[in-house]
Structure 1
Amino acid sequence: MHNRVFIVDDDRLTCNLLKTIVEPIFKQVEIFQHPLEFLTLALNSEDIILLDLMMPEMDGIEVIRHLAQQNCPASLMLISGYDSGVLHSAETLALSCGLNVTKTFTKPINTNVLTDLLTTLSDEQTKREFSGTHNDEFKQDTFEFIPTEKDLRDAIDNKQLVLYYQPQINMETQCIHGAEALIRWLHPEFGIVPPDKFIALAERTGLIEQVTEVVIQSAISQSVQWQNVDKAIRLSINISAQNINSLKLPEQLKMLVKQYELDPSLIVLELTESTLMDSEVTSLDILTRLRLKGFQLSIDDFGTGYSSLSQLHKIPFTELKIDQSFVANMKKEHESKAIVETCIMLAHKLNMEVVAEGVEDKQTWDLLLAEGCDIAQGYYIAKPMPVNEFDKWQCERELLMHSGVSKVKDSILHYY
């Protein structure tokens, strides 16, 4: 299959302009000024659609709805001269419907950007064809591991659940501020199993308290080891809804840090907004007592829930963590950038530190720094690492800082 490009726009001049841009790159170009005719086509994953939102016969939102109903696999580019907010909402709708939105354009269209994007898509098509021709003999069937309750119980009993650590950096000083403790399952057969494969299972089966206990015990134990070598590192630990419904939690944590002679302010308990919705009175009781005992509280994925401001008003949070979806999009979306700016301003007004997660590149780092963000976390800084790699990374960074290298290294790393 080769790329076919379909231009769906009621304006003849726009169609001709787009065809002039597309044809030198892709030979198969068709224009549809009437969307109903276009929707009769059978589309494949190699097809590209340039769709205008403002059309009198059927608007672009209706076309998106029909494409979603057909589970359309084609690449979709949205165009509008009406309003950037409407264009953003249309993109969000299409992505929510499972469509593959590759780019949005406001009119007048930036022809250079469009040409570069189409050229990239053409190059990717060529690479896939080459790969398919020459590498078929290396393709192997893969088996996706779907754990059962017994698998997870065995993992807990056999100590297969371990922690990886992702650094958090003070943006002003560029010194290490702390690290987030992220759980991984080291399976003897399937290797590293990410948390999204087993956390939901743990919550359904009631094993989440045992999983969280593993995380807390491991994190505090590691924190003590760092403290013993004069490297006190603040650790962020994720807490589930079941955990904050346990009235015993504050005392258990207090006894644990007292046993290890650890400063409780080095432990940050991260909670998402959704975990606070079920039992507000109980969670407010527990979280207030945790703060009284010296632990830090962070509201995670801020901005994705439905009661953000209400939670900030009621619960004594010390840290606000901006959801990575806003951070990742702030360099290309005015709306996301505005949300990030507002979150930073709001948190500072409430005497809270701000952590931006999902910092992937220098441009995002610079935007956050200009807005006064306190702490950054993401692959631009470092990936989540087992403790031995984290210690090595920390030593190397300290050497760089001491040698006068003040800028964060731009390291493009892959997710586990």
Structure 2
Amino acid sequence: MMNRVFIVDDDTLTCNLLKTIVEPIFGNVEAFQHPRAFLTLSLNKQDIIILDLMMPDMDGIEVIRHLAEHKSPASLILISGYDSGVLHSAETLALSCGLNVINTFTKPINTEVLTCFLTSLSNRQAQRELVSFNNDKANQGKFDFIPTEQDLREAIDKKQLILYYQPQINMKTECLHGAEVLVRWLHPEFGLIYPDKFIALAEQTGLIEQLSEEVIHLAIKQSVHWQKLNRATRLSINISAQNITSLKLPEQLRMLVKKYEIDPSMIVLELTESALMDSEVTSLDIFTRFRLKGFQLSIDDFGTGYSSLSQLHKIPFTELKIDQSFVTNMKQEKESMAIVETCIMLAHKLNMEAVAEGIEDKETWDLLSAEGCDIAQGYYIARPMPADQFDKWQFNE
């Protein structure tokens, strides 16, 4: 199905300018100066909407509300000449409503940047369609795999879980600092299954404790292997909120690293700040004991929760991991840039290392380096990879 592009803007000159840019790329373009006429359309996943926020008859926020109420599957590009802060708030609102916001632009629009973005978008769409076609041919007769509790239980029991490792780089030395451990499910029929398909299921069914135990065992065994090769690597392991309800966990992990003769400081336990809010007293007990036993602690996705500063004050974290949404947008948004700067400063004031995830290009790396960020992670450095590939990988090779 071909892309349709709908321009919704009350300004005639802007509509004409956008049509001039969009038509050579997508062809099928229609402009609406009155939003109510646009909202009568039936939209599909291939459609793209370029929406102005500041319109007299019906503003862009009202349009966003309508699209959200009707669960619009279309992609959304927001534009505004009013205020960059308002544009950012509108984007946040649309995303929280489940809409697919793919970019934002301030007026006057940089036509070169917009043209490059739309051309790239068109090329990616064509590539996705080709991949989808090839996958459909390869998987005829197969249904999308929706795992059950029994499927996941068998995966754990039959050792179908495997680990991938995403490198983390020291930004000053550009040497390997460590790696984040990411679990994958190697299904005998459906191949590699990503955690978004089974982590929530594990938490809902109570299997998260067994799953986490398997991940920790696999990570420590890999750490032992690397240690024997004189390639000791610090490993960051994600911990679910449900994992910190057991007061026995710190001692269990201490016995495990003692058994394998691993330095506990080579293990970083990552927990999202929102997860800490569920049982503050218990988590404070457990995390303090983790630190007493030599483990490192990381507060993950920092900046997205509601009690960040109080948690940083109470729990002895050694690492602050800046949420990738801020890192990804720091080039385009002064608000995101300010948040990243503040997170780095806060980490250093509290004697923690600042880790930035989601770095996708050199420009973002350079901005973070200039701000004194300590550790970098993201596709610019490397994608997650199996242990054998990690062994051969080198930064900037």
TM-score (norm 2): 0.90
Alignment-derived partner of residue 402 in structure 1 = none
Q: Give the whole-Å Cα distance in 1 for the aligned partners of 2:97 and 2:318.
A: 36
Residue aligned with 1:287, SS: helix
Instruction: Tell me, yes or no, if structure 1 residue 296 matches structure 2 residue 296.
Output: yes
Larger radius of gyration: 1
Q: CA deviation at 1:73?
A: 3.6
Q: CA deviation at 1:113?
A: 2.6
Alignment-derived partner of residue 400 in structure 1 = none
Contact 1:34–1:57 under 8 Å retained in 2: yes
Residues 54 and 190 of structure 1: CA distance in aligned 2, closer, same or farther (over 3 Å)? same
Residue aligned with 1:247, SS: coil
Q: CA deviation at 1:2?
A: 4.8
Q: CA deviation at 1:10?
A: 2.4
Give the total of aligned pairs: 397
Q: Deviations over 1:238-277 (max 9, x none)?
A: 1122221111111112222222222111111111112211
Alignment-derived partner of residue 149 in structure 2 = 149
Alignment-derived partner of residue 192 in structure 2 = 192
Residues 243 and 71 of structure 1: CA distance in aligned 2, closer, same or farther (over 3 Å)? closer
Contact 1:174–1:408 under 8 Å retained in 2: no
Q: Give the whole-Å Cα distance in 1 for the aligned partners of 2:256 and 2:47.
A: 58
Alignment-derived partner of residue 396 in structure 2 = 408
Residues 22 and 166 of structure 1: CA distance in aligned 2, closer, same or farther (over 3 Å)? closer
Q: Deviations over 1:286-315 (max 9, x none)?
A: 111111111111111111111111110000
Residues 226 and 53 of structure 1: CA distance in aligned 2, closer, same or farther (over 3 Å)? same
| Structure 2 residues not aligned, in runs of 5+ | none
Identity among equivalent positions (%) equals 78
Alignment-derived partner of residue 106 in structure 1 = 106
List aligned pairs for 1:1-400, cutoff 5 A.
2-22=2-22, 29-120=29-120, 140-393=140-393, 397=394
Residue aligned with 2:241, SS: coil
Q: Give the whole-Å Cα distance in 2 for the aligned partners of 1:248 and 1:46.
A: 51
Residues 226 and 121 of structure 1: CA distance in aligned 2, closer, same or farther (over 3 Å)? closer
| More displaced stretch, 1-10 vs 124-133 | 124-133
CA-based RMSD? 2.7
Q: Give the whole-Å Cα distance in 1 for the aligned partners of 2:132 and 2:327.
A: 36
Q: Give the whole-Å Cα distance in 2 for the aligned partners of 1:210 and 1:283.
A: 19
Residues 341 and 388 of structure 1: CA distance in aligned 2, closer, same or farther (over 3 Å)? same
Q: Give the whole-Å Cα distance in 2 for the aligned partners of 1:211 and 1:130.
A: 35
Q: Give the whole-Å Cα distance in 2 for the aligned partners of 1:309 and 1:278.
A: 16
Residue type of the alignment partner of 2:321: K
| More displaced stretch, 43-52 vs 292-301 | 43-52
Q: Give the whole-Å Cα distance in 2 for the aligned partners of 1:187 and 1:2.
A: 34
Q: CA deviation at 1:171?
A: 0.9
| More displaced stretch, 92-101 vs 199-208 | 92-101
Residues 358 and 151 of structure 1: CA distance in aligned 2, closer, same or farther (over 3 Å)? same
Residues 75 and 274 of structure 1: CA distance in aligned 2, closer, same or farther (over 3 Å)? closer
Q: Give the whole-Å Cα distance in 2 for the aligned partners of 1:121 and 1:387.
A: 33
Residue type of the alignment partner of 1:78: L
Q: Give the whole-Å Cα distance in 2 for the aligned partners of 1:361 and 1:374.
A: 17
Q: Give the whole-Å Cα distance in 2 for the aligned partners of 1:130 and 1:236.
A: 36
Q: CA deviation at 1:129?
A: 8.9
Alignment-derived partner of residue 412 in structure 1 = none
Contact 1:45–1:75 under 8 Å retained in 2: yes
Residue type of the alignment partner of 1:198: F
Residues 317 and 108 of structure 1: CA distance in aligned 2, closer, same or farther (over 3 Å)? same
Q: Give the whole-Å Cα distance in 1 for the aligned partners of 2:203 and 2:271.
A: 15
Residue type of the alignment partner of 1:296: Q
Q: Give the whole-Å Cα distance in 1 for the aligned partners of 2:241 and 2:385.
A: 26
| Structure 1 residues not aligned, in runs of 5+ | 398-406, 410-416
Contact 1:170–1:374 under 8 Å retained in 2: yes
Residues 135 and 262 of structure 1: CA distance in aligned 2, closer, same or farther (over 3 Å)? closer
Residue type of the alignment partner of 1:408: N
Q: Give the whole-Å Cα distance in 1 for the aligned partners of 2:145 and 2:163.
A: 20
TM-score (norm 1): 0.86
Residue type of the alignment partner of 1:112: E
Residues 18 and 372 of structure 1: CA distance in aligned 2, closer, same or farther (over 3 Å)? same
Q: Give the whole-Å Cα distance in 2 for the aligned partners of 1:356 and 1:243.
A: 25
Residues 118 and 246 of structure 1: CA distance in aligned 2, closer, same or farther (over 3 Å)? closer
Residue type of the alignment partner of 1:348: H
Q: Give the whole-Å Cα distance in 1 for the aligned partners of 2:97 and 2:33.
A: 24
Residue type of the alignment partner of 2:165: Y
Q: Give the whole-Å Cα distance in 2 for the aligned partners of 1:382 and 1:16.
A: 42
| More displaced stretch, 237-246 vs 313-322 | 237-246
Q: Give the whole-Å Cα distance in 1 for the aligned partners of 2:28 and 2:212.
A: 55
Q: Deviations over 1:75-103 (max 9, x none)?
A: 43322111001111112222333333333
**Off by >6 Å, runs of 4+ in structure 1:** 124-139
